[in-house]
DNA sequence: CTCCATCGTTTACATGCGTAATCGACTACG
DNA sequence: CGTAGTCGATTACGCATGTAAACGATGGAG
């Protein structure tokens, strides 16, 4: 990508302007989880949390962090020579959109069928049922 | 693949031996939905159902069908010069694994938090709630 | 019998993702 | 001050996916 690089004020990246939150991939999601738990963190600190379990190298984590920054899912704050990363999208929002995606794709947007499915496939434990019952009671109030 | 085509009973493809059901992608899923609704169908018939809404060409559908056959998600049955395609994995199974995937990734495998989330984000309609209540009552019996 | 419409199969190509090595800048140790 | 370690950025590369055109066989129309 030789040639200039200035001219336009900014824009540049293919990360669109500001429409949807830009999908977060599976591997990226693992990184997000770490930062949702505690932040801001440096790349090395994030690695400490995920490299072992996922069998990743620091390099991989760095790549994922960069991509997440590009996707505007993470914010960076300089700290001496390195960066501190912190989530820019709330976990709530992410979880919400992912859940909705699934419900839309698989259950025509209705949550009840999802629940029915979970129930039928024994994916619900006693505790789950009790909890849900409690929530229901609350909703009805 | 020129050369023979017989010899081995089947296998061939890199689709592993017989472990997990092999992930179905988003576009592929759209094709599956058509066949889950009615099958067996020819490629052209599938196209009639999805090409318009998704803006696809018949060629695209053909590719997706092939990939699904490779993934063992579809079975083919010769019908004169063409093939009839039908699902090899039940919708139930697909929906189940996808749901479980989400619940695992986002809610630590517990269904109750998912439900709580849906409830909080107003993703539950009156009807949903009523339905779920009914299901709960049934479960408790 | 010949030619065309169709099939399924092959090949194509851009983008995204998983995973990482390499590179240029900078800092801290000696 | 030079050198080794570390940082983010750049580059890499193979596989999956979305989307489709090109190709070769074949069956039906004339």
Q: Is the CB of B64 under 7 A from strand D?
A: yes
- Express each pLDDT in B52-74 by its tens digit: 999 999 999 999 999 999 999 99
CATH topology classification for A26-87: Arc Repressor Mutant, subunit A (1.10.10)
What is this model's ipTM? 0.85
Classify burial at B111, counting beta carbons within 10 Å of its beta carbon; exposed 0-12, middle 13-18, buried 19 or more.
buried
* Residue spans per domain, chain A: 26-87, 91-140
Is A19's pLDDT higher than 80?
no
Mean pLDDT along residues B7-25: 58
Q: Is B73 helix (H, G, I), strand (E, B) or coil?
A: coil
Would you identify the CATH topology of the domain B91-140? Penicillinase repressor fold (1.10.4040)
CB contact (8 A) between residue A111 and residue B128 = yes
* CATH topology identical between A26-87 and A91-140: no
- Report how far residue A132's alpha carbon sits from residue B132's, in angstroms, rounded to the nearest whole number: 9
Residues 6+ apart with CB under 8 A from B24: B32, B68, B71, B73, B94
Nearest nucleotide by C1' position to the B76 CA atom: C8
Predicted local distance difference test score (pLDDT) of residue A141:
79
Q: How far apart are CA B103 and CA B82, in angstroms?
A: 40
pLDDT over 60 (residue B14): no
Across the interface, whether the CB atoms of B95 and A103 are under 8 A apart is answered no
Alpha-carbon distance B14 to B25, whole Å?
17
pLDDT tens-digit profile of B74-132?
999 999 999 999 999 999 999 999 999 999 999 998 989 988 888 888 778 889 899 99
């Amino acid at each position: 990508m030789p040639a200039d690089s200035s001219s336009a004020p900014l824009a540049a990246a293919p990360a669109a302007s500001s429409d949807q939150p830009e999908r977060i991939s599976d591997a990226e999601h693992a990184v997000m989880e770490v930062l949702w738990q505690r932040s801001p963190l440096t790349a090395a600190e994030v690695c400490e949390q995920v490299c072992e379990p996922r069998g990743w190298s620091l390099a991989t984590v760095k790549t994922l962090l960069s991509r997440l920054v590009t996707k505007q899912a993470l914010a960076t704050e300089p700290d001496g020579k390195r960066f501190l990363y912190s989530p820019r999208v709330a976990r709530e929002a992410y979880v919400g959109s992912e859940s909705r995606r699934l419900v839309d794709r698989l259950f025509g947007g209705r949550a009840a069928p999802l629940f029915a499915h979970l129930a039928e496939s024994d994916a619900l434990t006693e505790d789950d049922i009790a909890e849900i019952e409690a929530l229901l009671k609350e909703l009805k109030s």
